[in-house]
Structure 1
């Protein structure tokens, strides 16, 4: 079975695709958000800006332990890949926001979706002030 490299793993510098560093008092949030989402869509990771969907376990009864073990290994591999891609998207977010915003939103164990929502909240709150 041939292993195919996910397109997101070929991006070496997000700043060439999203050339805006989002700053705290910036009026460029909508531009940043749009460029970022387009980039995620091109590289097939737009779903990482939304909550993670639970894995769907097929209701299949395996006739032997080997088939069940292979299915379990495939599910683990898919989950590992999802986590790896999520961290890449998280790094993209961190790399395209200013240090003051990063210090506000950064949380241990954060997913790309968590960071995306935290940035959105910063700018939604700023609209009201």
Structure 2
């Protein structure tokens, strides 16, 4: 797993990394419980260097640039990364919540739109600011345009209130229905004679009938 500030997957990355270190018996190099016996403890330095390589090797490029410093032990690198995520968690949550509230469908399909909402909701959960399923459905409905007004009204008044997945399926069905052409089609303006043209034609026909009868 690549650790990325934009994805904010620190908790998942941390759990997997610590498990990895536990399996290889080097967890002490991360939590600081394993210390060198002296300044020339080469085996400890090799193990610590290996853990540092593991940490740096799992960072996204931008995070690597902001975290890398020469020297120091693996524990120092670990704490720098942890502090970056902990300190930015609250501000990141506020920004994500605003993005979720203001997200609109615009030219996206229902599938693309709902995926983008779910992605933001997952990020909010990663920063300990989860969104309830009902709230996510309401955000989803608020970002739709007027052509979905009919199905929006149905979803809002359903009891019990639909889950995000159920509402998503209903919207996809409505999207499919809206894309279907009307049965029989509608006559175009050019195909329908104007009222004045019809009156002229009727008048001419009546006059011709009158002349024939007189003759």
User: Per the shorter chain, which TM-score range?
Assistant: 0.5 to 0.7
Where does 1:31-50 land on structure 2 (aligned, <5 Å)?
31-50=12-31
Give the number of the structure whose alpha-carbon radius of gyration is greater.
2
Runs of 5+ consecutive residues of structure 2 not aligned to the other structure: 92-215
Determine which structure has the larger helix proportion and give its number: 2
Q: Does 1:21 align with 2:15?
A: no
CA distance in structure 1 between the aligned counterparts of 2:4 and 2:47, rounded to whole angstroms? 25
- Runs (5+) with no aligned partner, structure 1: 1-19, 57-74
Matches within 5 A, 1:61-76: 76=40
Give the deviation of 1:24 after TM superposition. Answer: 1.3
Bigger RCO of structures 1 and 2 (CA < 8 A, at least 6 apart): 1
Q: Which residue in the other structure is 1:126 paired with?
A: 88
* Length-normalised TM-score, structure 1: 0.64
TM-score of the two chains, using structure 2 as the length reference:
0.39
Deviations 1:17-43 (A, max 9, x none): xxx101112231111000000000000
RMSD (Å) for aligned C-alpha atoms: 1.9
Q: Which residue of 1 aligns with 2:57?
A: 95
Shift of 1:54: 5.6
* Cα pair 2:36 2:44 within 8 Å, conserved: no
Deviation, structure 1 residue 80: 0.4
